[in-house]
Structure 1
Amino acid sequence: MNEQDTFPDQPILAALDIDGTLALPSTTQVADRVREAVARFVTAGHHVVLASGRSLVGVLPVARELGLVDGWVVASNGAVTARLDSRVPRGYELEDVQNFDPGRVVHAARAAHPGLQIAAERVGWGYDVTHLFPPGQLNGAQQIVSVDHLGERSTTRLVFRGPDAGRLVGSVRSVGLTAVPVEPDWLDVTAPGLSKATALEKVRANLGVLPTRTVAIGDGENDLEMLRWAARGVAMGHAPATVRAASDTVTGTLDEHGAATALDEVHMAGLPQ
């Protein structure tokens, strides 16, 4: 740690996005350089928290790939927080699950756009879907259900997929729900007021980490709140201009193992004030 670091003996919490930051979308493979940087960071006494738009069943394999068997993960853009625990049979305990009633928005969206594909998350298992999604697009299993059935069950996350999905942002937000446009044809919907940042703040408080000892690394629109929340927000080199503008610094691309570079810099130089 350098002399600029005000609290060199206090642990740092590093919040890491997955897709585009640690791994390619829909994969669990992490480069050796990234895995080694995470190991050095944790061995030094710091905390690594995966914070992803993926559902929990998509986050857990990446945690195992990184050797993270005890700690915390944030899934579904902040709707699900789990505590990793190597002592329990399934390897984790659910800490915070934010459900909402999807009925109103599901029926309104389908009425306006009849061809829309809809998925509703079932935590730890997969999704109820109106039509099967292509392999790799959703984490976990899929079960086809009717729109009525899907709208009756509370959920942590809805996915709208189709050419008109992006047009639903305004109507979803108008009823108080959180709408996160992932792609022009893909919209994530979660409970009101949620983001990766809201979940990470609870994790930070639980761990007793100082607000000034936080760093976040990401590359997407769903990382904006997280990057602003952290004492140091780091955008991946390939991130869109809006994401880079919201960050304090920019690291290398995924191919350049930018997340590893950023973690090593924080590990070696600390978080100067």
Structure 2
Amino acid sequence: MHLIALDIDGTLTASGSLEVPAETVAAVGVVREAGHHVVLASGRSLAGVMPIARALGITDGWAIASNGAVIARLDARPDGYDLDAGTDVKILDVRAVITAALNARLPGLQIAVEEIGIGYYVDAVFPTGLLRGQQMVLPVHELQSLASPRIVLRAPGVHALINPLRAVGLTATPADVDWVDVTGPNLSKASALETVRRRLGVPAERTVAVGDSVNDIEALTWAARGVAMGDAPDHVRAAADEVTGTLHEHGAATVLRSMAAAR
């Protein structure tokens, strides 16, 4: 029995999409039927992860959202998860993040503070398709008083905030040229996957991770078998043990099929 961790955007779906190819859905079903644990591990919020879990037919087990800041126990209730049964949520210092962002005086800065399973509180509405779930507009001073596992900072030049945020112990992860995700100290998909691995009792040597982005690097190095997608950037592929096909070549399904007979 293995733990197979799957990134979503760029691995199972096109970025931001809710559609999963039939080949991938079938491959997930085969490995789950064989007794393996399939764990979605995404930078998306839980509101963005759950439609993919449903598309894959995953109604039990664990899912990781918000770059490892949220570990959710999946079940058959209407929203698909239980936030009380072993769920692990790491809350960050929202005020410190927003203060640092405002002090940088970046033109066009937008701030989104995640509300688990619902959406985001924002200082201004983000363009359609960039955030999953509801967008609820609040003044910045009200955003600073919220509790949240993750903050999105979006602006041209926002990568200038990465090192200052890391210097004060926060986890700052670039997700696009104008986008940075901020979570609490020492968090990653790998840290959350290690928590899930221990809960499931899966040996470390029976772990697999598939991904394509910067926020997958820790997971690829954590896993006994780290697999980068064929269209991943060079530095992501360099962190992996092997490279599979591209998204359009159904590379994730290829990896899953290779695990079908594993014990």
Classify the TM-score, shorter chain.
over 0.9
Structure 1 position 267, deviation (Å): 2.3
Aligned to 2:82: 93
Q: Which amino acid aligns with 1:90?
A: D
Deviations 1:109-133 (A, max 9, x none): 1132253101000101110111100
Corresponding residue for residue 189 of structure 1: 182
Q: Residue 101 of structure 1 contacts residue 152 of structure 1 at CA under 8 Å; is this kept in 2?
A: no
Aligned to 2:200: 207
Residue 46 (structure 2) pairs with residue 56 (structure 1):
yes
Match of 1:106 among 98, 113, 137: 98
Q: Which residue of 1 aligns with 2:169?
A: 176
**Aligned match of 2:11:** 21
SS of equivalent residue, structure 2 residue 144: helix
2-side partners of 1:123 and 1:52: how far apart? 14
SS in structure 1 at match of 2:82? strand
Deviation per CA, 1:66-85, whole angstroms, max 9, x where unpaired? 00011110000000011111
Q: Distance in 1 between matches of 2:78 and 2:250?
A: 33
Aligned to 1:254: 247
Looking at structure 2, the residues matched to 181 and 141 of structure 1 have their Cα atoms a distance apart, in angstroms, of: 23
- Quote the offset at 1:108 in angstroms: 2.3
Q: Deviations over 1:76-98 (max 9, x none)?
A: 00000111111x34321121110
**Does the Cα contact within 8 Å between 1:116 and 1:164 map onto a contact in 2?**
no
| Aligned counterparts, 1:50-89, within 5 A | 50-86=40-76, 88-89=77-78
User: Which residue is 2:221 aligned to?
Assistant: 228
Contact 2:100-2:165 within 8 A present in 1 as well? no
Shift of 1:174: 1.1
SS, match of residue 152 in structure 1: coil
Distance 2:200 2:194 in 1: 10
Structure 1 distance, partners of 2:235, 2:97, is 28
SS of residue in 2 equivalent to 1:121: strand
- Normalized against structure 1, the TM-score is what? 0.93
1:179–1:187 contact (8 Å) kept in structure 2: yes
User: For structure 2, which runs of at least 5 residues remain unmatched after alignment?
Assistant: none
Q: What is the identity, as a one-letter code, of the residue corresponding to 2:17? A: T
The amino acid that maps onto 1:40 is V
Rounded to whole Å, the distance in 2 between the matches of 1:152 and 1:196 is: 26
**Percentage of matched positions with identical amino acids:** 55
| TM-score computed with the length of structure 2 as normaliser | 0.96
Aligned residues of 2:42 and 2:66 also touching (Cα < 8 A): yes
Q: Distance in 2 between matches of 1:91 and 1:119?
A: 24
* Residues 129, 145 of structure 1: 8 Å contact kept: yes
- Give 5+ residue unaligned stretches, structure 1: 1-10
How far off its partner does 1:152 sit?
1.3
Q: Does 1:127 align with 2:117?
A: no
Q: Which has the larger radius of gyration?
A: 1
Give distance in 2, aligned partners of 1:89 and 1:136: 24
Letter in 2 for 1:150: L
Structure 1 vs Structure 2 CA RMSD? 1.1
Q: Does the aligned pair in 2 maintain the 1:227–1:233 contact within 8 Å?
A: yes
CA distance in 1, matches of 2:89, 2:30: 31
Structure 1 residue runs of 4 or more that deviate by more than 3 Å after TM superposition: none
